[in-house]
Amino acid sequence: MQSKAINFKDKFTKFSEQWSPRVIAEMNDYQFKLVKVEGEFVWHDHPDTDEVFIVIEGELNIEFREGVVTLSSGELFVVPKGIEHKPVAATECKIMIIEPKGVVNTGGETTDLTAQNNLWV
Amino acid sequence: MQSKAINFKDKFTKFSEQWSPRVIAEMNDYQFKLVKVEGEFVWHDHPDTDEVFIVIEGELNIEFREGVVTLSSGELFVVPKGIEHKPVAATECKIMIIEPKGVVNTGGETTDLTAQNNLWV
């Protein structure tokens, strides 16, 4: 068992790469990942799982084919499985993603933004 | 699909009962629950699942048989399955719990603090 709480702001100081999720904790077969995002991601979906976004600092838009959802600090959104989405942030935004272990950030697409999986910080 | 982000602070204004988890979102078969806590909870464990605590506002101690972990705002802790724990807060603390749907707040014990399950806010 860990012996200390995990501090989001402290963990964010330990990496700078954008669009590169860093695992900070596991709960059963789920992972909690911190990500720094800026600019436009790629359209993708996760056919087998919902995906939760929580904004820690900054503002994130999640674009859908039929609209956009804006998240500010202290807000959460569940992207349902199989729904195409594209995260976009005008300036760097710090977020936490929660999803099952093994989920690839770009879904079924492999692009320049496809990140290495299971990197811990 | 929801059409708007879920704002933690806004949701906390919608109930006042302490130790009574309110579901704000579901991801697959997991739930995100907001809870206002103050004072001492009961010793309990969840034999079948890990449980994640995130402090939104205030300070929470999670007592274990072999020590205590203190969480402040913006901090996370995973209580492993089967590990006895007792949440304690000197003053009201606002937290989010993440765990599978159906988990009872007092684990295998039924006490005055056993809350109704699956209350949404």
Q: What is the mean pLDDT of chain A?
A: 96
Domains of chain A: 16-100 (2.60.120.10)
Contact in structure between B74 and B57 (CB atoms under 8 Å):
no
Length of chain A: 121
Burial of A120 (0-12, 13-18, 19+ CB in 10 A): exposed
Q: Which amino acid is at B32?
A: F
What contacts A39, CB < 8 A, 6 or more positions away? A18, A88, A89
How crowded is the C-beta side of A78, counted as CA atoms within 13 Å? 15
Q: H or E segment at A62?
A: strand A59-64
Q: How confident is the model at residue A87 (pLDDT cuts 50, 70, 90)?
A: very high
Asked if the model's pLDDT at residue A96 lies above 90, the reply is yes
For chains A and B, count residue pairs whose Cβ atoms are closer than 8 Å. 94
Q: What pLDDT score was predicted for residue B18?
A: 98
Model confidence over A1-32: pLDDT tens digits? 888 999 999 999 999 999 999 999 999 999 99
Question: From the CB of residue A17, how many other CB atoms can be counted at a distance below 10 Å?
Answer: 12
Q: Which of A52, A64, A69, A71 best tests the B interface by mutation, with the highest count of B CBs <10 A?
A: A52
Q: Are the beta carbons of A76 and B28 separated by less than 8 Å?
A: no
Model confidence over B41-76: pLDDT tens digits? 999 999 999 999 999 999 999 999 999 999 999 999
Question: From the CB of residue A102, how many other CB atoms can be counted at a distance below 10 Å?
Answer: 11
Contact in structure between B118 and B23 (CB atoms under 8 Å):
yes
Model confidence over B69-116: pLDDT tens digits? 999 999 999 999 999 999 999 999 999 999 999 999 999 888 999 999
Q: How confident is the model at residue A105 (pLDDT cuts 50, 70, 90)?
A: very high
**Coil, strand or helix: which one is A110?**
coil
Model confidence over B6-18: pLDDT tens digits? 999 999 999 999 9
Using CA atoms of B121, B109, B96, B39 in order, give the dihedral in degrees to the nearest 10. 100
Question: What is the rounded average pLDDT of the residues A64-81?
Answer: 97
Whether chain A has a CB inside 8 Å of the CB on B68: the answer is no
Question: What is the rounded average pLDDT of the residues A34-60?
Answer: 97
Asked if the model's pLDDT at residue A108 lies above 90, the reply is no
> Degrees (nearest 5) of the Cα angle B104, B72, B11?
55
Using alpha carbons, select from A33, A26, A52 the residue that is nearest to residue B52: A26
**Coil, strand or helix: which one is A10?**
helix
Take residue B93 and report the two structure tokens written for it.
Answer: 């603390």
Q: What pLDDT score was predicted for residue A38?
A: 98
Kindly list the residues from chain B whose CB atom is less than 8 angstroms away from the CB atom of residue A6.
75-77
Q: Which member of B7, B8, B78 has the closest CB to residue A27?
A: B78
Kindly list the residues from chain A whose CB atom is less than 8 angstroms away from the CB atom of residue B52.
25, 27, 32
Q: What pLDDT score was predicted for residue A2?
A: 82
Q: How confident is the model at residue B1 (pLDDT cuts 50, 70, 90)?
A: confident
Q: Which member of A1, A25, A76 has the closest CB to residue B76?
A: A25
Q: How confident is the model at residue A106 (pLDDT cuts 50, 70, 90)?
A: very high
Q: Are the beta carbons of A69 and B6 separated by less than 8 Å?
A: no
Whether chain A has a CB inside 8 Å of the CB on B70: the answer is yes
Q: Which member of A2, A78, A98 has the closest CB to residue B77?
A: A2
Q: Above pLDDT 70, what percent of chain A?
A: 100
What contacts B79, CB < 8 A, 6 or more positions away? B46, B50, B51, B52, B53, B62, B85
Whether chain B has a CB inside 8 Å of the CB on A78: the answer is yes
Whether chain B has a CB inside 8 Å of the CB on A27: the answer is yes
Q: What pLDDT score was predicted for residue A1?
A: 81
Q: Are the beta carbons of A75 and B6 separated by less than 8 Å?
A: yes
Kindly list the residues from chain A whose CB atom is less than 8 angstroms away from the CB atom of residue B78.
2, 25-27
Q: How far is CA B20 from CA A80, B38, B97, B115, in A?
A: 27, 11, 11, 6
Q: How confident is the model at residue A47 (pLDDT cuts 50, 70, 90)?
A: very high
Q: How confident is the model at residue A109 (pLDDT cuts 50, 70, 90)?
A: confident
